[in-house]
């Protein structure tokens, strides 16, 4: 039986839906996706399970909304940090700002980010969603990079490589407890490599 998912328009309904997303965000961060069910999200949000299904199709639907909230937070924070740069000729500062913003992002919700990355490799809908969010962030970088009056070819492809390199470095720094790499040297070398790609 197909349930009709409600799109909230009244303030109370909007707040209820947001409460579900905020609660799910906390639970996914604490326990992970697979160790959570919709009934637990409803209970911690102080709602009946049926109320959750009025706003979301299933747990994955909630997870995608949580991921969307997280992605918006990430690129808004990155752009806010890039907007603080006064000298628009300082490409090194641009690169360092992006790297520091992405490291901050990983520290913000490490378990959630790990879950999104893992689920993207297992579920095509989450993979497509994750790729869309990644592309939004790359487009934001492209927008900001135009302010630096740099004329070079293949900017989208170069920024894709930059983003992938920084992401992998962050995963090594944040998630690999047994890493034998010096984090500061790794960040320094990543900064040099990214600068080289973009100059």
- Three-state DSSP at 56 gives coil
Instruction: List pLDDT tens digits, range 116-137.
Output: 888 888 999 888 988 888 888 8
CB 26 within 8 A of CB 43: no
Cα separation, 74 vs 181, whole angstroms: 26
Instruction: List pLDDT tens digits, range 53-86.
Output: 989 999 999 999 998 888 888 888 888 888 888 8
Q: Read off the tokens for 167.
A: 């992401």
Domains and CATH numbers, the chain: 1-57 (1.10.10.60), 58-198 (1.10.357.10)
CB 18 within 8 A of CB 4: no
CB 42 within 8 A of CB 49: yes
CB 81 within 8 A of CB 34: no
Of 38, 46, 57, nearest to 16 by C-alpha is 46
pTM of the model: 0.80
């Amino acid at each position: 039986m197909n349930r009709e998912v409600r799109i909230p328009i009244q303030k109370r309904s909007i707040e209820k839906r947001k409460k579900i997303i905020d609660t799910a965000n906390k639970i996914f961060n604490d326990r992970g996706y697979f160790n959570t069910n919709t009934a637990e999200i409803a209970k911690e949000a102080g709602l009946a399970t049926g109320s959750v299904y009025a706003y979301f199709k299933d747990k994955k639907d909630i997870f995608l909304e949580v991921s969307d909230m997280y992605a918006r937070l990430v690129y808004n924070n990155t752009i806010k940090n890039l907007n603080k740069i006064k000298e628009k000729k300082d490409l090194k500062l641009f690169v360092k700002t992006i790297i520091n913003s992405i490291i901050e992002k990983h520290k913000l919700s490490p378990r959630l980010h790990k879950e999104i990355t893992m689920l993207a490799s297992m579920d095509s809908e989450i993979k497509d969603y994750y790729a869309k969010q990644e592309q939004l962030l790359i487009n934001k970088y492209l927008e900001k990079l135009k302010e630096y009056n740099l004329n070079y070819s293949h900017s989208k492809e170069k920024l894709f490589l930059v983003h992938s390199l920084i992401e992998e470095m962050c995963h090594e720094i944040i998630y690999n407890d047994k890493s034998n790499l010096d984090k500061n040297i790794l960040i320094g070398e990543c900064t040099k490599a990214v600068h080289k790609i973009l100059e």
